[in-house]
Chain A
Amino acid sequence: MSPIHEAAGLAAMVSLWLLGITRVKSMLWGLALQGGALSMILLIHAIANNLAPEIFLGMSALLLKAVVIPLFLNWSAHRLKVDRDWGVGLAPGMAMLIGAVVLMTCYFQSARFSPLSVPSGTAGYSIAMVLIGVMIMITRRLAMGILVGFLVLDNGIFAYSVTETAGLPAVIELGVMFDLFVAVLLTGMVLFRVSRSFEHMDVSKMRELHE
């Protein structure tokens, strides 16, 4: 098993863990770990092939996904006094169990999503991360938890891009990361407005626009 395969597997397992926890700080640690593992895939590949633009891209991804975004969200969670997200609809344990089934199914169906003639399973891990990200978004009550789910989903796409394709052109990939960064900052700003105006962060209680 190659380090790339191991890193992708670690990222997929982390997303499963994120599905089952309620403490926001732990979720952010998980997010940082996942971002770090995925950036390492890009860095390992770039260093092995001595590709300067990809090394820069990998360093940028590491900085953004493993450091800047988790730190910013941690600062926001602290300021917004968000500690735990108990979820809605599905208990964390049950969600984790369903997530495990999703992960296994995707892993064994890797060939469906992979362009490689001998799929290594990383395509399955990536698609599982996308689906688990959606599951996190559905099962969280607080805006912060939903945002974490969105970032897991985005990490799944990043994982697919770095493991299954030759990669997006470096400039395009940087543009994608910049967009993600601005999106997180903007969503963070909206979170503060939500907290100030609604005096809570519970998305299920936002009913101003219900017809």
Chain B
Amino acid sequence: MTAFIAIFTFPLLVAASSLLVRDLRLIRSIAGIGGLAHASAAIWVGIDVWRMGGHGPGIGWFSLDGLGCWILAVNGLVYAAAMGNAALLWNAPGDIHLSERGVRVLFGCGSLFILAGNAVVTASDLGALWISMEATTLVTAPLVLAHGAKSSIEAAWKYLILCGVGIAFALLGTVLLLASSAGSAPSDQGLNIAWLTSHAMSLRRPLIDTSFVFLLLGYGTKAGLFPVHNWLPDAHSESPAPASALLSGALLNCAMVALWRISDIVSRTGAHRAVTGLLAPMGALSVLAAGVMLIRQRDLKRMWAYSSIENMGLMAVAAGLQLAPVFALHALAHSLGKASAFLLSGNVVKQFGTASLAKLGGIMRRSPATGFALLAAGAAVMGAPPFGSFASEWILVSKTSMQSQWAIVIVVIAGITISFVAVLTHLGRIVFGEKQPELEVKVSPLALVPSAVLLLLSACLFFVVSPAAYEALDKLLNHGGHR
């Protein structure tokens, strides 16, 4: 219980310090330490829940289950890396055009976001889950606005309105789900995930189908699934790099957890076909569409953002086919790779003053460590060995084939292949291409450490995944907690 409370306390302390402490250097130190402490607490809680077979502590509408603690640990790693990178990268508040206020917003809202994100993944009630999800939108909008440029304002407007409508649809879906349990559920249990899961067969079918469509559209918008993904590339590319890492590595997972919880309930009502027939194809189409859109990218951060759409598509396929361990493995693998990719992009922007793929070039010759790390991050994100995403994508394709979902297999493989070639081509050009003007700003080699640690963890994941580990993960995710 202490560690569970600690998970919510550390980010709150960092947020409070970013508001109250005058000295920016002190805020940076608090954020760095707070991030590490939060990650340690999240992993500690995760191990405890694992030992207890998927049952964990809870407070009110929030409690821990296998999936919740897994994603909590992922959030913890991404938050620690983002705060660490932000603390190490900014020697002066004026760096990469972020004002002192912008730096405070980054540390403060980034911490409030992780608080809301943790609430999403630990919510045991769909109402509390919705409120937490809306809170993630509200606290991340200032992050998108942090640069204050015209493009940031446009991105923030799009983010607020599109995600606002999406989340409103999710609320309608939630209320419809509540209506479907009318008469059978006790008054305070109508949205309780454990009750809905165990009494799924007593829910009214026509309302469940309508509810699922609205929830899919709503949380699908938040997860950036095609065709409701429009806000994502703008918001992720306009935010400062550590914020982009948080948005891509943690926020999208939170939305996918919401979709997982909903799919789990709906598939138990006997409407399994609605989940397999809507969520999995939407995921497969996201993989393909993102691959096609990746070809014409001209900006490094937008490229990573489109790759997030592709990876959320893969997770949606796993959720649609109810492959819990693949879903969890890919969430971890993608977050490790993508957070490091965004953090490295921040280093590149600071070093060379641009994120334009046309203007960048010869990174390997000018800064070999950054160039090598960028290539590794690209491999980790696109599912190349020796990184965790290779294992998760491989298992996803093989499990999908075993369920004879051939159309989905073909679309997913086509999407993954196109994305791989597109990202490799863009990265090859900026890392090995023509040398561009000299370095603008020197970046401390220490700024590479958070990304390197994430990539190392992703490589470890590749070697750890085995049939026995898969079984253990399956057991953790499919028993206890919210079931």
Instruction: Check: B24 CB closer than 8 A to any chain A CB.
Output: no
Name the B residues within 8 Å of A93 (CB-CB). Answer: none
Instruction: Check: A186 CB closer than 8 A to any chain B CB.
Output: yes
Name the B residues within 8 Å of A198 (CB-CB). Answer: 150, 153
- Mark B199-241 against chain A: 1 for CB-CB distance below 8 A, else 0: 0000010110010000000000000000000000010001000
Name the B residues within 8 Å of A134 (CB-CB). Answer: 165
Name the A residues within 8 Å of B61 (CB-CB). Answer: 172
What is the interface of chain B mostly: helix, strand, loop, or mixed?
A: helix
Within 8 A of A (CB), among B170-192: 171-172, 175-176, 178-180, 182-183, 187-188, 190-191
B263: shortest Cβ distance to chain A, in Å? Answer: 22
CB atoms of A169 and B188 under 8 A apart? yes
What is the interface of chain A mostly: helix, strand, loop, or mixed?
A: helix
Name the A residues within 8 Å of B298 (CB-CB). Answer: 211
Known: A115-B179, A137-B165. A172 touches B127 (CB 8 A): yes
CB atoms of B168 and A154 under 8 A apart? yes
CB atoms of A115 and B150 under 8 A apart? no
Surface stretch bound by A, among B4-12, B43-51, B128-136, B457-465: B128-136
- Mark B120-151 against chain A: 1 for CB-CB distance below 8 A, else 0: 00000101101100110110011001001011
B187: shortest Cβ distance to chain A, in Å? Answer: 6
User: From B296, which residue of chain A is reached at the shortest CB distance?
Assistant: A211
Number of interface residues of A (CB under 8 A): 40
Name the B residues within 8 Å of A168 (CB-CB). Answer: 127, 175, 178, 191
A21: shortest Cβ distance to chain B, in Å? Answer: 21
Instruction: Check: B160 CB closer than 8 A to any chain A CB.
Output: yes
Instruction: Check: A176 CB closer than 8 A to any chain B CB.
Output: yes
Number of interface residues of B (CB under 8 A): 48
Known: A115-B183, A150-B165. A190 touches B131 (CB 8 A): no
Within 8 A of B (CB), among A134-160: 134, 137, 143, 146-147, 150, 153-154, 156-157, 160
CB atoms of A193 and B145 under 8 A apart? yes
Name the B residues within 8 Å of A153 (CB-CB). Answer: 165, 168
Instruction: Check: B154 CB closer than 8 A to any chain A CB.
Output: yes
User: From B179, which residue of chain A is reached at the shortest CB distance?
Assistant: A115
CB atoms of B138 and A182 under 8 A apart? yes
Distance A187 CA – B158 CA, assembled complex (angstroms): 10
Name the A residues within 8 Å of B127 (CB-CB). Answer: 168-169, 172, 175-176
Instruction: Check: B369 CB closer than 8 A to any chain A CB.
Output: no
Instruction: Check: A179 CB closer than 8 A to any chain B CB.
Output: yes
B428: shortest Cβ distance to chain A, in Å? Answer: 21
Name the B residues within 8 Å of A146 (CB-CB). Answer: 161
Instruction: Check: A166 CB closer than 8 A to any chain B CB.
Output: yes
CB atoms of B182 and A176 under 8 A apart? no
Instruction: Check: B155 CB closer than 8 A to any chain A CB.
Output: yes
**Minimum-distance CB pairs A-B, first 6:** A172-B127, A175-B131, A208-B151, A115-B179, A179-B134, A115-B182
14 A-B contacts (beta carbon < 8 Å): A143-B157, A157-B171, A160-B172, A172-B127, A176-B131, A179-B135, A190-B145, A194-B154, A194-B157, A197-B150, A198-B150, A208-B150, A208-B151, A208-B154
Could you tell me which A residues sit within 8 Å of B by CB distance?
112-115, 130, 134, 137, 143, 146-147, 150, 153-154, 156-157, 160-161, 164-166, 168-169, 172, 175-176, 179, 182-183, 186-187, 190, 193-194, 197-198, 203, 206, 208-209, 211
**Besides the contacts A164-B175, A179-B131, A198-B150, what 16 more A-B pairs have beta carbons closer than 8 Å?**
A112-B210, A113-B207, A115-B182, A147-B161, A150-B164, A150-B165, A154-B168, A156-B172, A157-B171, A165-B178, A169-B127, A183-B134, A187-B164, A194-B154, A197-B153, A208-B154
